[in-house]
Amino acid sequence: MEKFRKLMSSLKNTVKKIIPSSLIEWWTRKISAKKQQKFGKKSVAETFGEIYEKNVWGGKSGEFYSGDGSSRKFAEKYAETIRKFIAENDVKRVVDLGCGDFRVASKFVSDDFHYTGCDVVFSLVKHLNEKHKSEMVEFRCVNIVEDELPEGDLCLIRQVLQHLSNAEIAKVLQNARKYKYLIVTEHFPSPQTEIIPNLDIPHGPDVRVRYNSAVILDKPPINLQNVQILLDVEAEEGTRIKTFLVSSER
């Protein structure tokens, strides 16, 4: 499987050199939209369960892998920012919505606070509890769109909303109003791109960046108040990964 992935990656690079980028972008969007529509007809749990089961975001067969956005080069600065925020605000309970494979959160958890990772995929949560559960770390199977969320001081939502529809995002943010602090991280197109705020898409593996859009918290239809940026790092092809603090007065 790994050899096949490397072969496909090499083939894609060759194609990019031959075919105009505008045509590749058009075709990629068309395929992505079709795939996204397919997943959108399934429940949130079914969708993300299949994504992990079929390694849609990459990784080895049978491995729980949340995608390259959780890789070290993107996660280190985020982890540093979260550690600093927790220490400065005396946070004792952290709730991580859409914790995924735990590669990111594992870089900032400590014995100084209790961490609860939430994900909708039961098999993933079971695996994480078997491997990482301790007195200060636990994982729960939670549908963050529909279910009541665990108690906590700080709520983290890192590159999760980008996979949901606008209606689902609204429900998640409404559920998260219970927390004193909310920190949201999202993927943005490059600064040179004319960004379409909050383009509505069905839930699924793809993200709005592919359509020159992003989840922008203080733009319609989300319209959150008191949003301030905490971190802005460069990602692939000039895109940005931005982290925002939303105050309790939202």
Could you tell me the pLDDT band of residue 13, with boundaries at 50, 70 and 90? low
Which tokens belong to 102? 């735990």
DSSP character string of 9-69: HHHHHHHHHHS-HHHHHHHHHHHHHHHHHHHHTS-HHHHHHHHHHTTTT-SSTT-----GG
Which tokens belong to 215? 């989840």
**pTM for the whole thing?**
0.84
Q: Would you kindly state where each structural domain of the chain is located, as residue ranges?
A: 68-246
Residue 4 has pLDDT above 70, yes or no: no
Locate tokens 């200060």: which residue? 136
Using CA of residue 73, residue 200, residue 152, residue 117, what is the dihedral sign? negative
Q: How far apart are CA 71 and CA 236, in angstroms?
A: 12
Which tokens belong to 248? 């309790």
Q: What pLDDT is attached to residue 28? A: 47
In the chain, what percentage of residues exceed pLDDT 90? 70
Residue 155 has pLDDT above 90, yes or no: yes
Query: Is domain 68-246 classified as CATH 3.40.140.10?
Result: no
Q: Which residues contact 156 (CB under 8 A, 6 or more apart)?
A: 82, 94, 95, 96, 97, 105, 183, 185
Q: Are 154 and 86 a contacting pair, CB within 8 Å?
A: yes
Q: Are 139 and 132 a contacting pair, CB within 8 Å?
A: yes
Q: What is the mean pLDDT of the chain?
A: 87
Beta bridge partners of 140: 118
Phi and psi for 33 in degrees, rounded to 5?
-60, -40
CA 249 to chain centre: 24
SS3 assignment, position 223: coil
Q: What pLDDT is attached to residue 66? A: 85
DSSP character string of 79-103: HHHHHHHHHHTT--EEEEET-TTST
What digits encode the pLDDT tens for the residues 121-134? 999 999 999 999 99
Q: What pLDDT is attached to residue 64? A: 85
What digits encode the pLDDT tens for the residues 39-74? 667 999 999 999 998 888 888 888 887 877 676 677
What digits encode the pLDDT tens for the residues 75-88? 899 999 999 999 99
Q: What pLDDT is attached to residue 17? A: 55
Q: Are 9 and 68 a contacting pair, CB within 8 Å?
A: no
Could you tell me the pLDDT band of residue 31, with boundaries at 50, 70 and 90? very low
Q: How far apart are CA 247 and CA 180, in angstroms?
A: 7
Q: What pLDDT is attached to residue 20? A: 54
Q: Are 136 and 111 a contacting pair, CB within 8 Å?
A: yes
Instruction: Name the residue among 162, 214, 184 with its Cα closest to residue 57.
Output: 162
Phi and psi for 188 in degrees, rounded to 5?
-120, 150
What digits encode the pLDDT tens for the residues 191-249? 999 999 999 999 999 999 989 999 999 999 999 999 999 999 999 889 999 999 998 65
Q: Are 89 and 181 a contacting pair, CB within 8 Å?
A: yes
What digits encode the pLDDT tens for the residues 85-122? 999 999 999 999 999 999 999 999 999 999 999 999 99
